[in-house]
């Protein structure tokens, strides 16, 4: 059985470390990227089963990163879970418009893992 692969894209090293430790502790293979552009590149070459993507990042935000991922045939099929500290009620609508599967608000580590399990059918 092959381990599932998860790509974490966030510009905050502490957040990346927390998520990586939690996800890896459940047997997932984890790669990380520090911004949207490197996340897209990594997704195209590493082909993860799911992408965890921060919304608020410099240069290319999570929305634009997701739009670009969904526009590429190599990555269009990969589910994207947004995670954010923002509390706006319109996040779900915006996420759906760009093709994200879910939005998880911080504190999020357990919520993100639950969303991963649901999307990948691990429950």
**Residue ranges of domains in the chain, CATH in brackets:** 5-117 (3.40.50.2300)
Residue 115 is predicted with a pLDDT of 79
Residue 89: how many CB atoms within 10 A of its CB? 6
Average of per-residue pLDDT values in the chain: 87
Task: Please tell me the predicted confidence (pLDDT) of residue 69.
Answer: 98
Alpha helices (H) along the chain: 13-24, 36-46, 62-71, 91-98, 109-119
The percent of residues above 70 in pLDDT, for the chain, comes to 89
> What gap in Å lies between CA 40 and CA 111, rounded to an integer?
24
Q: What CA–CA distance (Å, rounded) separates 121 from 68?
A: 25
Compute the average pLDDT of residues 81-100.
81
What is the reported pTM?
A: 0.84
Q: What is the pLDDT of residues 14-45, one digit of tens each?
A: 888 988 988 888 889 999 999 999 999 999 99
Q: How far is CA 78 from the centre of its chain?
A: 10
pLDDT at 13 over 60: yes
Would you say residue 78 has pLDDT above 50?
yes
């Amino acid at each position: 059985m092959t381990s599932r692969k998860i790509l974490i894209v966030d510009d905050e090293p502490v957040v990346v470390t927390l998520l990586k430790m939690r996800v890896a502790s459940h047997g997932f293979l984890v790669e990380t990227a520090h911004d949207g552009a490197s996340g897209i590149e990594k997704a195209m070459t590493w082909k993860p089963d799911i992408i965890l993507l921060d919304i608020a990042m410099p240069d290319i935000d999570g929305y634009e990163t997701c739009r670009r991922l969904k526009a590429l045939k190599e990555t269009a099929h990969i589910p994207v879970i947004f995670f954010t500290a923002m509390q706006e009620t319109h996040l779900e609508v915006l996420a759906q418009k760009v093709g994200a599967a879910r939005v998880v608000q911080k504190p999020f580590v357990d919520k993100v893992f639950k969303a991963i399990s649901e999307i990948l059918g691990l429950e």
